[in-house]
Structure 1
Amino acid sequence: MTKQTLPRLAITAGEPAGIGPDLCILQASQPRDAQLVVIADPSLLEQRGRQLKVDVKITPFEPDAPRRLSQPGEIQVMPVTLAAACTAGQLDSNNSAYVLETLTLAVNGCQSGLFDAMVTAPVHKGVINESGIPFSGHTELLAELTQTPRVVMMLATDGLRVALATTHLPLAKVPEAITEPLLEEVISILHNDLQQKFGVSSPHILVAGLNPHAGEDGHLGREEIEIIEPVLTRMRDQGMNLSGPLPADTLFNPGRLEKADAVLAMYHDQGLPVLKYKGFSEAVNVTLGLPIIRTSVDHGTALDLAGTGLANCGSLNTAIRYALSMIQSA
């Protein structure tokens, strides 16, 4: 795609019983400078639209036709058929393969050039696993589908980007997972994608320590001295601007953050509570290291809100905005 071409995004509607279909319907009223294609069952969108009392026009996506903007209230749909009838708020493991098919179509479309990026609504890990399909999350599946050996999860909101060295691990397993090869890969991916997908020419990355007070000179743990500091020293020698390891309880202050382009946290709940406190419903999940552009909402399926009209479209709108910005920077 050239920068003069109308961008085309694939939006996967996620868990059909959750708020993903609601969000796809609600976003249709927003003006866009891109062609948005929702990958979902058209009958599901029509049914949910009636439940929300929102008029939507479902139009089949024509991949061979020239790119075009949707009309207000129109949803261009790449159809995938549900395996079982869906009721808002009620999970059904029979539809797990449907969810994975929507993701596979989006990835394949991005790899072929049909789409310039993909934006994902939330899925429900538990119900997919209950169907007998091993599934640990979007990030891991997209890495498998694109045959990418290492990807990095990063969440972002206005004024803050937080990447994770480890993602969905029990806390007890985090220390053994923090190794020099892992950190070298993660920092390289974060540095390179900040340059290539976000247009940051010389990224400044703040790196958190693993232990309280970043180990306090080895008195509260030696991972900083034996693992993290040696990696940062080597990568600084390669020209990277890295600060750390820093105590996580003092890292997230305005004075530090205003001079940084991203934070690298060692584990999920070290960095993401701060990010979500700052920008919940206005944050985006970005998968770094992929050969394609993928952004996502920063929240779950919210089954209790599905079909009620109370779902907040802010995070999906942010994910769309980030995807378009990344397309322009790439």
Structure 2
Amino acid sequence: MADTAADGTSYDQLAAPGGAGADRYAARAVTGSGPVGPVDLVDRTILVTGVTGQVARPLATALARTNTVYGAARFTDAALRDGLEAAGVRCAPADLVTGDLAALPERVEFVLHFGVVKSNRWDVDLDGNVGGTLALAERYAGVARAFLHCSSGAVYAPDHDGVLAEDHELGDSHAVWPFLRTYSVCKIAAEAAARYAARRYRLPTTIARLGVPYGPSAGGLPDYHLQMMAAGMAVPVYGASEGAATPTRYQLLHDDDTAAMIPGLLSVADVPATVLNWAGPETASVQEWCAELSALTGLPAVLEYTTATLGSVVMDLTVLRERVGVARVPWRDGLRAMVAARHPSLLRAGAGAEASAGT
């Protein structure tokens, strides 16, 4: 069998930079009428999926103060549902794996897709993350003004010492964690689904690759580390040994900034989809925030160096800064608020002021 495409072009030509295939694919790009433009999230109708999750729950609660917000999830925890409804979120059961979206509202102005399926089973997670994204986009095609798909910095190939722009190579960064072996691949595949849906349904879409979310409502990675410190456990840090390791760096994004930046992310939604990194402007290492948590609580931070954990994920925020803006909550202030809200008994009197003064 000849190694050629149907039109006689060799596969080598298709793959070559600037080859016939590259030209043809560029010409086929679907263009929209431009970004959505300024979005004012007051008195709007909004759907937030994954509403029982760490990021979407405080977001939906914040938006419900000034909007009609529907929250979609499976709602296996009745207490979480009760809390959301008490905060003004209208809960609507949905199952992304089976595609059962019958209980969702017929009309919404904006879709904020934060739902993610992490069963660690390939068939379930591909159906939920890829098929679920497509089903959601199809349902609101021609109805919603914009679709925000929350992706993750987990889509990038590991690069401990680099700064990752949106065109950085993608890869299975989370394969190092057996309990999240499907996560990165499914996040990459879900992005592909969102990209396709934007073109297929002419649905203005933003794909936002989220950094490390945290805050007083649902915690996040620094909160997990604090709980490990309180239990006398070592916090894993990337590196073969302490002497050989460089800081494991991330960009934290506080709950308040997540909510504040949603209008800007929706305003740049377009066809083809807008893809950008989404994180706080400050880079903090695991070593730094564990030291800060120690200062706030008096708990010792024991670090365990290993290559069986995630390395640094530092994203280039140029596109975010130019098109959307920047996050505002300094990470040290955010950590203190997180500890005070979630673990008040651990917070030493005056520790927040002392920690800030020492930086």
* TM-score clears 0.5: no
Q: Which of the pair has more CA radius of gyration?
A: 2
TM-score by structure 2 length?
0.29
| Higher RCO (CA < 8 A, seq sep 6+) | 1
